[in-house]
Amino acid sequence: MTQDDLKKAVAQAAFKRIEPHLHEDSVIGVGTGSTANVFIEYLAEAKHLVTSTVASSEETARRLKEHGIPVYDLNSVDEVTVYIDGADEANEYLQLIKGGGAALTREKIIAAVAKEFICIADESKFVTVLGNFPLPVEVIPMARSHVGRQIVKLGGDPVYREGVLTDNGNVIIDIYNMSITDPRKLENDLNQIVGVVTNGLFAQRPADILLLGKADGVVEITSS
């Protein structure tokens, strides 16, 4: 099975899980990235049933609209019934690293609002300790050097992601070489640095369900 097959399998499993909600006028939160894009394809097949979505990036909003699926501003909906998104890394506690696609802030906002957050990923994303994947941090442009220096003090190697501006007009610093043994603390510490918008650790608000694509099928891991 290729990685694309695994992405298809988890996207389909997520679609099956949310399908009953489609008959209840629910708001579906839709994430960003290649796995979320496959989920959008499943959603598009049932677009006559999808009345409201919120998107975690301009790119996702564009894809949804291209299929004729209604996309709303988060401020104009009362709640998000369920949020489906991928991840760059996930651990057994369903804490995640996200933001490989630079959409971390909007992703974190939708995750915060969502009643249920279902993460979809192939098994290569499942790790014992988070941090092999460089941790993205969204930063106000004028604070880039300051934030970089503070990250060094926390023990990480900051690398400016050249040529990338987020949907919010900010820059991304990726933190390399950090073994993240206390994700909740690091998420908090990074967010205390002046100039940081947010970081890609989803530890305070982990996923509720992780659908993990393996060669022998999709495994469902729930937070205990």
Q: Return residues touching ligand 5RP (CB under 6 A).
A: 31-35, 85-88, 98-104, 107
Contact criterion met (CB below 8 Å) for 69 and 62: no
The least distance separating ligand 5RP from the CB of residue 1, rounded to whole angstroms, comes to: 16
Residue placing its CB nearer to ligand 5RP in the complex, 14 or 143: 14
Handedness of CA 147, 96, 185, 180 (dihedral sign): negative
Distance in Å, CB of 168 to ligand 5RP, minimum: 12
For residues 17 and 158, give the distance between their C-alpha atoms in angstroms, rounded to a whole number.
Answer: 38
Task: Provide the minimum distance between the beta carbon of 86 and ligand 5RP in the complex, in angstroms, as a whole number.
Answer: 3
Active site residue 107: yes
Q: Could you tell me how many helices (H) and strands (E) the chain has, helices first?
A: 6, 13
Provide, rounded to whole angstroms, the least separation between the CB of residue 103 and ligand 5RP: 4
Helical (H) or strand (E) element with 147 = helix 144-153
Q: Give whichever of 24 and 162 is closer to ligand 5RP, judged by the CB atom.
A: 162
* Angle, helices 3-18/34-45, rounded to nearest 10 degrees: 50
Q: Which lies closer to ligand 5RP via its Cβ, residue 60 or residue 153?
A: 60
Residue in 126, 131, 132 with CA at minimum distance from that of residue 92: 126
Coil, strand or helix: which one is 16? helix
- Considering 107, 138, 187, 220, which one is annotated as catalytic? 107
> If you count them, how many residues does the chain have?
224
Nearer to ligand 5RP, 35 or 150 (CB): 35
Q: How many CA atoms lie within 13 A of 205 on its CB side?
A: 18
Active site residues: 107
